[in-house]
Amino acid sequence: MPNAPYIITDLIHLTVSYGSYVWLDILVVSSFAMSGLLLFYLSFLDMKNILKPHLKNHFNKYFFILIIYLSSFGVFLGRFLRYNSWEILSNPKYLFIDILNIITRPLAYKEAWLFTIIFGLFLHAGLWIFNQFSFSANLKPDSE
């Protein structure tokens, strides 16, 4: 799940672009980032529709908000701590140590919390906008 919105963070590579083809870098990276966001929201809604019947109604909303922020935290782990998705299986020890340190020592890892919250707000706002477009296009809207 966090791999799709992770592509947004690839915009950081535009800072090293130069020359007459910088417009091409902007176009390519931006289109991939937008595609990643669209796929994230579509996957999120699919997951929500599959799990919704199995979750209690009052728990439903909070569970999916938590998923957004966990995805944001996953993006932080990948972009800044350079973890890959498969390391949860191949090398979980150091991943879990880093996660435990971030959770137990929040003042030492302010950037992790700041990124997770701000990127989570970005994804949450994007989901709201996506739902508005879905509703106006007579697609199956997500109720939040």
- The answer to whether residue 19 sits within a structural domain is no
- The answer to whether residue 22 sits within a structural domain is no
Total of domains in the chain: 1
Find the mean pLDDT for residues 51-78. Answer: 90
Find the mean pLDDT for residues 93-100. Answer: 96
Secondary structure percentages of the chain, helix, strand, coil, to 5: 80, 0, 20
- The answer to whether residue 63 sits within a structural domain is yes
Give residue 138's pLDDT.
60
Expressed as residue numbers, the domain containing 120 is 41-136
Find the mean pLDDT for residues 111-123. Answer: 98
Which of 43-47, 55-59, 134-138 bottoms out in mean pLDDT, i.e. has the lowest? 134-138
- The answer to whether residue 47 sits within a structural domain is yes
- The answer to whether residue 5 sits within a structural domain is no
CA pseudo-torsion sign 140, 123, 120, 98:
positive
Distances (CA, A) of 85 to 4, 6, 14, 29, 128: 12, 11, 24, 21, 27
Stronger pLDDT, 30 or 141, i.e. the higher one? 30
Give residue 139's pLDDT.
54
- The answer to whether residue 144 sits within a structural domain is no
Q: Give the confidence band of 137 by pLDDT, cuts at 50, 70, 90.
A: low
110 has pLDDT over 90: yes
Residue whose tokens read 């140590």: 97
